[in-house]
Amino acid sequence: MKTLDDFNFENKRALIRVDFNVPLNDKFEVTDATRIISAKPTIIKILEDGGSCVLMSHLGRPKGVQEEFSLKHIVSKIEDVLGVEVKFSSDCVGKEAQEKADSLQPGEILLLENLRFHEEEKLGDVKFAEELSKLGDIYVNDAFGTAHRAHASTTIIAKFFPDAKCFGYLLEKEIKSIKRVMEDGEKPVLAILGGAKVSSKITVIENILDKIDHLIIGGGMTFTFIKAQGGSIGDSICEDDKMDLALDIMKQAKAKGVQIHLPVDVVAANAFSNDADTQIVDVKNIPEGWQGLDAGPQSLANFDKVVNESKTILWNGPLGVFEMENFAKGTITIGNSIAEATKNGAFSLVGGGDSVAAVKQFGFEDKVSYVSTGGGAMLESLEGKTLPGIEAILN
């Protein structure tokens, strides 16, 4: 696995695929710079070697050229984070991009305009990838968030750098963190899967059952499992067509010696609203007209015990509707349990959109071992797929 440390970038121009798909407010200001901060170590290493950097990224899902998705809006934020002036090219290929790249001096940075202003990017167009490849001497992929897409800048481009391509520090960390859970995890290994639907996590569950010792299931998908076992779930969310699958997962887990831990009680509400009336009820006896929106106190006590007996922990998905204050306690409590286990020497990896949002919202970022930057990419890795953006560097 070739990484940044295998190269000296002195007088070399690094063409870096970063993931600067950051959220902007209506004044086009960056509201969360995490992805820019995550790319900083890679960029600084290259500059300190005496190299220069050409940065390429997408932003949003533009249809053609759209002003609101221009990367020029984030130049000042990148400069703030890196402490280095950033030049900008109003296109990512063509005469201007080539001239600005060619004139870069060691220690300088050029940001290219949004790759997705060209539909060839998403189509994985070879000619477009070749055009991009002329902008650098060494190709560095540091964009885990797009590594599951076979786009021109994430996958196809690598073939134009047969001996001069590597992973950036961020992508290297992502790969090692997932490997640490999936292959090298110190036992007992625990996976905590939350979120609304079993259907979105089926392949993950099936792939990780061979690697884990415990599985905590929380969030909305709890109720598909409970109903499948004959429980009354009131008006709780449920995928009726996945109940057989839930039973099959439980059977597979038992055969593999994996203990499944489901909530035993829930915070039920009489409406999907933060202002609804609530009561704590047995998860198998939720009254009609009520729905489970968070894990209950006994469940959280049970989960805490499992978390603190584990040495390797994967967390993907919240335990309740954490966006509403009255149903956030389960997610906050499991976060505290994971933080405690991490402090005591466990390795904890958090990944997947909502759990990452929760970790940031409730201040757990520095209390877990690693927070993944890629939602879809993380899930596909856990499903056992080799991501095209990773494979392109390894080949």
- In what side-by-side order are the strands of the sheet with 265-269? 278-282, 265-269, 291-295
Catalytic site includes residue 353: yes
User: Cα-flanking dihedrals φ and ψ of residue 62, to 5°?
Assistant: -70, 155
Residue 355 annotated as part of some ligand binding site: yes
Residue 194 annotated as part of some ligand binding site: no
Residue 19 annotated as part of some ligand binding site: yes
Residue 20 annotated as part of some ligand binding site: yes
Residue 292 annotated as part of some ligand binding site: yes
Residue 353 annotated as part of some ligand binding site: yes
Residue 21 annotated as part of some ligand binding site: yes
Catalytic site includes residue 376: yes
Residue 118 annotated as part of some ligand binding site: no
* DSSP for residue 10: T
Catalytic site includes residue 296: no
Active-site hit among 13, 35, 211, 227: 35
Please tell me the distance from the alpha carbon of residue 223 to that of residue 243, in angstroms, as a whole number. 9
Residue 50 annotated as part of some ligand binding site: no
Catalytic site includes residue 13: no
Element (H, E) at 294: strand 291-295
Please check whether residue 358 is in contact with residue 219, taking contact to mean a CB–CB distance below 8 angstroms: no
Active-site hit among 40, 72, 353, 360: 353
Residue 354 annotated as part of some ligand binding site: yes
Residue 134 annotated as part of some ligand binding site: no
Residue 58 annotated as part of some ligand binding site: yes
Residue with tokens 């090692």: 176
Residue 17 annotated as part of some ligand binding site: no
Burial 27-51 (b: 16+ CB within 10 A, else e): eeebeebebbebbbebbebbbebeb
Q: What is the pairing mode between strands 138-141 and 13-17?
A: parallel
Going through 195-247 in order, the beta strands assigned E by DSSP cover 214-217, 232-233
Active-site hit among 40, 180, 360, 376: 376
Which is it for the CA torsion 338, 194, 284, 212, positive or negative?
A: negative
Copy the structure tokens of residue 287.
Answer: 């009254």
In 3D space, the residue among 283, 202, 284, 210 whose CA is nearest the CA of residue 249 turns out to be 202
Please check whether residue 197 is in contact with residue 221, taking contact to mean a CB–CB distance below 8 angstroms: yes
Residue 275 annotated as part of some ligand binding site: no
Burial 258-296 (b: 16+ CB within 10 A, else e): bebbbbbbbbbbeeeeeebebeebbbbebeeebbbbbbb
Residue 120 annotated as part of some ligand binding site: no
Residue 107 annotated as part of some ligand binding site: no
Do you find a cis peptide bond into 23, omega within 30 degrees of 0?
no
Instruction: List the binding residues.
Output: 19-21, 35, 58-61, 116, 149, 201, 292, 323, 352-355
Instruction: List the binding residues for ATP.
Output: 201, 292, 323, 352-355
> Which residues does the annotation mark as catalytic?
35, 197, 353, 376
Instruction: List the binding residues for substrate.
Output: 19-21, 35, 58-61, 116, 149
Instruction: List the binding residues for (2R)-3-phosphoglycerate.
Output: 35, 116, 149
